[in-house]
Chains A and B, each alone.
Chain A
Amino acid sequence: MHAHGRMLNAILIAAVVALAAFPLAGSTFYTQLITKIMIMAIFAMSLDLLVGYTGLVSFGHAAFFGLAGYALALMVPKYEAASLWWTLPAAMAACAAFALVTGALVLRTRGIFFIMVTLAFAQMLFFVFHDTKFGGGSDGIYIYNKPHLKLGETALLDLEKLDHFYYLVLVLLVAVYLVLRRILGSTFGHALVGIKVNEHRMRALGFPAFRYKLAAYVISGALAGMSGYLAAVQFGFVNPEIISWHQSGAVLMMVILGGMGTLYGPAIGAFAFVMMQELFSNQAWFGAYAKHWQLAMGVTIILVALYLPQGLSGLLQKFGRRKEAAEAEHD
């Protein structure tokens, strides 16, 4: 097991090094694409805390993603840039607050109910921004100026520059991974997994299961908010589509596709999902059917649900275990 962990760490460090080197070689298009993938990876990892570790299948995670984007759009003055130092924490705090209120309600339910209620609350938020003037209606809001990042008077990063933004996202991705791993390694994290396996037993052992689940829900919401904030900065606008249930479905798919309950799996899932999107909507390959790329996506999702329940990382682990077993036999 320890050998396994060391190997994993080595692979992850290699992946981060590769990501850090990428903008030096990659074109503008691919640097932007990888930035988007890393943002979605943060989003997917935040959901993994709920789905993979706590056993809470949320189908409304896009609510936090969208709320943070809108929070940024509403906080930024129209003709000048705002500071990232306070807009990012403020956007995440808004998500944490929304998670606290809705979490207190949705966590009263379980199973199928939980899935439906999380979806319904996300949809409620969708209507708040879709139907009201302050949210810009169905057109959304443009963010004309990207936030600035200054220490005193000197600018640390210029987010208008592609590679500066890329490295900010990469640093945050690594930070979120490390924070989540730290959380999951703590007593709190182990208690969450315990709740997933057997909530009654955890309660009998004296753990306040409801409060633990609520805490996980709030943390997950705030981290999803971080990814939504970054996405809004990258694309320069927000519209209600970012809260739509298709967004919630997509991120759930990333988690499963990559392998839930592993943290790095959902990041792989985000990569695979976005790449598939690019592939299926490639006109050079699929011609007129590129327009209907969701068909291929839908079929893939169905096949993953049926035949790849542990996701891509499960596949790798199985392969690794077989290899280990073969080596053990050899000895």
Chain B
Amino acid sequence: MDFAFFLIQLLNGLQYGLLLFLVASGLTLIFGIMGIINLAHGSFYMVGAYLAWSLASMTGSLAAAILLGVVLTVLLGVALEWLLIRRLYERDHLYQVLLTYGLILVFEEMRSILWGDDVHGVPVPALLAHSIPLTENLSYPVYRLVISGVCLLLALGMYLLIARTRLGMMIRAGSSNRDMVQSLGINIRLIYTLIFALGVALAAFAGMINAPLSSVFPNMGGGVLIICFVVVVIGGIGSVKGALVASLLIGLAETFGQVLVPEVAGMIVYLLMAAVLVWRPEGLFRKL
């Protein structure tokens, strides 16, 4: 493996890992703060990708589609939390699993009714559709670098939100003692709604920006969901920092696995998870 090839795989692995982080961070926040296991999280990724495709073909611009799509998915998140998720806070995880599993079926069939079952490509915006040459015959697409950059910015934004703002303080407090926070006069319900909508929008956003690379196809959310579960298990529940570390770890492991040992590439992440479970059953990080 020469250096340019290695560099390409490294960048691909990081980009994939950062994308996973966007989905997994919402998942881990919803687990950690609201105590909700959300199987439908992968569906939001799928909804995002389909929104990007349909809105981009309507407006002719991926940027406009993403902007519009984010607004729509935030509204979707607020509506879902209001209508359904809210009723699950006091309930056993079992019912959370069941209800959100039902949601997956609903989303998947709605997708089939509204958008059909075909695979669609989404063009990379013309402005970003070139590559940076690395050697004579190897080059790296700019769009992938842009995705990584945007994901990094969002990760930084999320860190600042949680660590440095008043809202972040309420979120942290809410995750450690819900009742105490409420009795101090903070509207924890509103915070839960915000967190859920944020998680939905982040997952959908990941689906949107990745649509030009992955294309758009039925059941695309399932694979992402399960990988993100592995991320959360490795990183530690409710830990955004853990989600970042684990996402990058898995992104790199899977990318290099596919190049070096393609026969067992599908299993690598699960073996990694098993190893972490033996070593630290609670995950690598335990704090928000």
Contacts and interface: CB of A to CB of B under 8 A. Distances in A.
Interface of A: 51, 57, 59, 105-106, 108-109, 111-113, 115-117, 119-121, 123-124, 127-128, 130-132, 245, 249, 252-253, 256, 260, 292, 294-295, 297-302, 304-306, 309
A115 B102 CA distance: 16
A301 B230 CA distance: 25
Nearest to B108: A294
A295 B102 CA distance: 9
6 closest pairs, A vs B, by CB?
A298-B105, A301-B102, A127-B266, A124-B270, A295-B109, A298-B106
Contacts of B232: 116
Contacts of A249: 101, 104
B263 A131 contact: yes
B52 to A, nearest CB: 23
Nearest to B104: A298
Given A57-B94, A117-B273, A132-B263, A294 B99 contact: no
B26 to A, nearest CB: 15
B97 A57 contact: yes
A128 B267 contact: yes
Contacts, number: 121
Contacts of B94: 51, 57, 252, 256, 260
A116 B106 contact: no
Contact of B93 (A115, A127, A128, A302): A115
12 contacts: A105-B277, A112-B35, A112-B237, A253-B98, A253-B101, A260-B94, A292-B112, A292-B113, A295-B109, A300-B102, A301-B98, A306-B84
A112 B31 contact: yes
B230 A120 contact: yes
Interface in B228-242: 229-230, 232-233, 237
Contact of B102 (A130, A132, A305): A305
Nearest to B84: A302
B270 A123 contact: yes
A59 B87 CA distance: 21
B268 to A, nearest CB: 10
B47 interface: no
A59 B38 CA distance: 13
B105 A59 contact: no
A294 to B, nearest CB: 4
Given A245-B222, A301-B102, 6 more contacts: A113-B237, A115-B93, A127-B266, A132-B263, A297-B102, A306-B95
Contacts of B113: 292, 295
A127 B97 CA distance: 23
A298 B109 contact: yes
Contacts of B283: 113
A123 B226 contact: yes
B255 to A, nearest CB: 16
B267 A127 contact: yes
B281 A245 contact: no
B77 to A, nearest CB: 17
Interface string B191-207: 00000000000000000
B274 interface: yes
B124 interface: no
Nearest to B37: A112
Which of A123, A127, A292 has its CB near the most chain B CB atoms (within 10 A)? Answer: A123
A119 B229 contact: yes
A121 B102 contact: no
